[in-house]
Amino acid sequence: MASNPSTPIPVLFCYPKIAHLLLEDEKWNVGGAPCQMYALAEALARDSQFAVSALVDEPPLVERIQNIQLVYKKPPVKRFLPFVGRFVNRSREKGFAAHASGGVALFSVSTGKQILAQYGPMIHRVGGKVLYRIASDIDLLPELRYSHENNAWTRGLQEADCIIAQTEFQRRIAQERYGLESTVIPSAFVGTTYTSVKKDSILWVGQCYSYRRPWLVAQLAREFPDENFVMIMPKNDEALARVIEQEMELLDNVQLIDYVPVDKIQQYFDRAKLFINTSVFEGFPNTLLQSGAGHTPYISLSWNPDGLLESQGIGYGCQGSLDTMKTHMHDLLSNPVLSEAIGTRGSEYVREHHNLDKVVEMYKALIRRSVPIKPME
């Protein structure tokens, strides 16, 4: 089925986590991918040329929010006779897939590939196109998850009609390792406006997962006893969070915060002298955009695709060396002029490369290219 230019193009977001932002779920642990997908869905829904819907993982209390239709796909039935069950399940699948008929379905995040394997074929059967947005380098580099089994993790990429990379590094790796073409569309800055305030802390922000290595903040705090550290760490892994809490309680210069609303977090970046990223891997972290917007230099222990931080003059990569990270921190903390110059370049970089309106227009153009236009009669 092709889309007629006189009717809106269907766009189905197959990423249930954005529902928490749509529903303004208090104290929900928001990561970068949900913020990006939510911002894109909300922006597309304001354009009458697109009919936006979003998959949710629980029955919604309302059918539509912010001009976005909420779609709940009921789980398969098993208690009927086999032929009855197949009929009911096919009917449910068809009803769900119809939201992408003649349009596109957009998936994201590695776990979404299981959803993609389940829903992708039904999207194709109704004439929809499948788009997959790479959210993390782990999608392409199995060694980052201590695995060399590519099939389960790359099947979603191979079955997609279009792959969206966030960085040139991801585009190159997809081509070199899997022979897959992709389109680079950068992440958008979706935070609030910068407020000039006194910079008084070293900031770390991330969900409590082992791959983010939050325990390293304690080592850095001991190395810099005269600096105040702020950790914003939602307790995703409660067992690990308890260990981190116990360790940070022994330090006088660390403030541990478990939750900050999305619309309130930018103030912490504005106040930060430095931002430190200790993650093993990332996709394109929202924290880099928030740091840039806050005129805050960015120091990353491992993530630094193609030397992005140095090439843009917005921070430093440390090639996995904690000693190198400490050296860069010493240098910036002892040289306010250098730190301010890097922070200014970060702000310019975000405005130039990650403007939300520009990013949304890139997605609109990609969606239009993906959907055949039916000639006017």
CB 325 within 8 A of CB 315: no
pLDDT at position 375 is 38
CB 144 within 8 A of CB 120: no
pLDDT at position 377 is 36
CB 108 within 8 A of CB 15: yes
Phi, psi of 150 (to 5 degrees): -85, -30
Cα 209 from Cα 220, distance rounded (Å):
18
Domains and CATH numbers, the chain: 9-187+356-370 (3.40.50.2000), 201-353 (3.40.50.2000)
CB 230 within 8 A of CB 206: no
pLDDT at position 3 is 47
Supply the pTM of this predicted model.
0.89
**What tens-digit pLDDT sequence spans the chain (377 residues)?**
444 456 899 999 988 788 778 877 655 666 788 889 999 999 999 999 999 999 888 888 888 988 999 998 776 666 656 666 666 667 767 778 889 999 999 998 755 556 777 788 889 989 999 999 988 888 888 777 655 555 555 676 788 899 999 999 999 999 998 899 999 999 999 888 888 899 999 999 999 999 999 999 999 999 999 999 999 999 889 999 999 999 999 999 999 999 888 888 999 999 999 999 999 999 899 999 999 999 999 999 999 999 999 999 999 999 999 999 999 999 999 999 999 999 999 999 999 999 999 999 999 999 999 986 543 33
CB 38 within 8 A of CB 18: yes
pLDDT at position 146 is 59
The bridge status of strand 9-14 relative to strand 104-108 is parallel
Residue 8 CA to its chain's centroid (Å): 26
pLDDT at position 2 is 46
Kindly give, in sequence order, each residue whose CB lies less than 8 Å from that of residue 197, ignoring residues fewer than 6 positions away: 267, 270, 271
Owner of token pair 């819907």: 53
